[in-house]
């Protein structure tokens, strides 16, 4: 077949030949090893300093909100996995919580404990991944290998639970479908016993490292007003002085029964965010120890329910479906037609590892949501780069993008 030229002609977008000023337009393209996904940053540079930054997103826009308008609620659950694909269960959980609040369901206690365990494990996974990639971008490649090793332990535990390493779909509307496997608690305890030493190893490598401190301290300072105005939440906001954590302020699940602290800083630079992530890992470990105890108490009290009992919306347990006729019929109807929640709307926000992950569901009584809006924290954390980057140098761009912890599945949905 003859070679047919394609229509992509080479063009020099970053070099304009007739400019009077010294400005260079640099395209930090959609494929870049430090771009954490598909971020296209167009930077106007004056020698090495940035005068204008324009982030261009949308290279991973897959149309999830429109998909939700065409899928039943349970069918949409695996799609939410792919939003923040590093901590998948937190997206699943946010969606499940939103639908449960819309319907008015009460989830059984054992399922709540398991969900909390999954959420905190996902938080640890997400923070370890953040540490690995940020360190890799700045040049500390050892941390990348060590943090991924820790992450592999956690992924093994979750794979033993639900079968998937990365995109879990382990949480359903109404509870969890599976009980934890036999050596889940044992493996989790072994991991948690090693975790403080591991975190201390990373801190020893990084905290007093001159290069790390020079690249992180004083760089990317976000003031409180800018953080509030740009809709920053999560560690970005806590680093800028506002101690706002949805697990404490609007407690969901059983977070009001566990004790943990919320680290915050009032400096707002990269180093503050780094310290907050490390402290949050320790707090997550604390929560996990307490949830292990809560789970064992649940087992002792004999609470075995894993899914809420609401026959209009939730299917029966599998054993009933396989043996009872009416359970099978109801399950069939729920799977083929979908559950029909009441008419109304709800906005529910949870504290995902990246920030406030919100789901706005407007239901008109049909099996498909009429409008589902996903409030992803990384969307505005990418937008803040417009105001944050001018004044910094090019190497700072990499460290700032690293510490803002952007995941492009969320930004573009």
Looking only at residues 57 through 96 of this chain, which bind another protein when binding is defined by CB under 8 A?
57-63, 65-67, 69-71, 78-79, 82, 85-86
Shortest spacing between CB 302 and another protein, in angstroms: 30
The residues in 276-335 that bind another protein, with binding defined as CB under 8 A, are: none
CB atoms within 10 A of CB 33: 9
DSSP 175: B
Sheet holding 40-46, edge to edge: 23-28, 40-46, 49-56
Which residue, 271 or 313, has its beta carbon nearer to another protein?
313
Whether residue 313 contacts residue 307, with contact meaning beta carbons closer than 8 Å, is answered with no
Whether residue 73 contacts residue 341, with contact meaning beta carbons closer than 8 Å, is answered with yes
Which residue, 144 or 289, has its beta carbon nearer to another protein?
144
229 binds another protein (CB under 8 A): yes
Q: How long is the chain?
A: 413
How would DSSP label each residue in 266-333? SS-SHHHHHHHHHHHHHHHHHHHHHHHHHHHHHHHHT----B---TTTSPPPHHHHHH-HHHHHHHHH
User: What is the rounded CA–CA span in Å between residue 167 and residue 88?
Assistant: 6
* Interface stretch with another protein, choices 1-9, 275-283, 285-293, 316-324 (CB under 8 A): 1-9
Among 33, 208, 210, 319, binds another protein (CB under 8 A): 33
First to last CA, the chain: 39
Which residue, 85 or 289, has its beta carbon nearer to another protein?
85
Residue for token pair 């996902």 = 122
Which residue, 77 or 294, has its beta carbon nearer to another protein?
77
340 binds another protein (CB under 8 A): yes
262 binds another protein (CB under 8 A): no
Shortest spacing between CB 227 and another protein, in angstroms: 9
Which residue, 110 or 381, has its beta carbon nearer to another protein?
381
The residues in 122-181 that bind another protein, with binding defined as CB under 8 A, are: 129, 132-133, 144-146, 148-149, 151-153, 155-157, 165-167
25 binds another protein (CB under 8 A): no
User: What is the rounded CA–CA span in Å between residue 37 and residue 229?
Assistant: 25
DSSP 393: B
* Interface stretch with another protein, choices 111-119, 271-279, 321-329, 340-348 (CB under 8 A): 340-348
Shortest spacing between CB 389 and another protein, in angstroms: 14
How many chain residues interact with another protein (CB under 8 A)?
95
The residues in 358-397 that bind another protein, with binding defined as CB under 8 A, are: 358, 360, 362, 364-368, 370-371, 373, 375, 379-380, 383-384, 386-387
DSSP 237: H
User: What is the rounded CA–CA span in Å between residue 273 and residue 118?
Assistant: 24
């Amino acid at each position: 077949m003859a070679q047919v030229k394609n229509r992509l002609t080479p063009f020099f977008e970053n070099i304009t030949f007739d400019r009077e000023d010294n400005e260079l337009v640099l395209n930090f393209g959609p494929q870049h090893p430090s771009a954490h996904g598909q971020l296209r940053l167009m930077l106007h540079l004056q020698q090495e300093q940035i005068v204008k930054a324009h982030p261009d997103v949308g290279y991973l826009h897959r149309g999830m909100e429109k998909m939700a308008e065409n899928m039943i609620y349970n069918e949409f659950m695996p799609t939410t996995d792919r939003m923040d694909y590093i901590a998948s269960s937190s997206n699943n959980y946010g969606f499940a919580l939103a639908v449960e609040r819309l319907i008015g369901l009460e989830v059984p206690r054992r399922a709540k404990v398991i969900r909390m365990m999954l959420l905190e494990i996902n938080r640890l996974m997400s923070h370890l991944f953040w540490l690995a990639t940020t360190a890799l971008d700045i040049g500390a490649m050892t941390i990348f290998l060590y943090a991924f090793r820790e992450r592999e332990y956690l992924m093994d535990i979750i794979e033993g639970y639900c079968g998937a390493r990365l995109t879990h779909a382990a949480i359903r509307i109404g509870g969890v479908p599976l009980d934890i496997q036999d050596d889940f608690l044992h493996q989790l305890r072994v991991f948690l016993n090693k975790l403080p030493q591991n975190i201390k190893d990373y801190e020893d490598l990084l905290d007093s490292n001159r290069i790390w401190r020079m690249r992180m301290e004083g760089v990317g300072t976000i003031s409180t007003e800018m953080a509030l105005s740009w809709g920053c939440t999560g560690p970005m906001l806590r680093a800028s002085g506002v101690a706002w954590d949805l697990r404490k302020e609007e407690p969901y699940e059983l977070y009001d029964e566990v004790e943990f602290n919320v680290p915050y800083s009032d400096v707002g630079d990269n180093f503050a965010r780094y310290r907050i992530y490390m402290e949050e890992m320790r707090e997550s470990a604390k929560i996990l120890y307490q949830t292990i105890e809560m789970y064992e108490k649940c087992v002792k009290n004999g609470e075995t329910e894993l899914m809420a009992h609401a026959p209009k919306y939730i299917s029966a347990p599998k054993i009933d479906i396989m043996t009872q006729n009416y359970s099978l019929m109801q399950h069939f109807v729920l799977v083929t037609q979908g559950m029909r929640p009441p008419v109304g709307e709800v906005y529910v926000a949870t504290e995902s590892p990246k920030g406030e992950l919100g789901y706005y569901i407007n239901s008109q009584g049909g099996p498909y949501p009429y409008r589902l809006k996903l409030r992803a924290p990384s969307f505005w954390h990418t937008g803040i780069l417009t105001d944050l980057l001018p004044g910094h140098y090019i190497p700072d761009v990499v460290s700032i993008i690293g510490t803002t912890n952007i995941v492009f599945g969320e930004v573009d949905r």
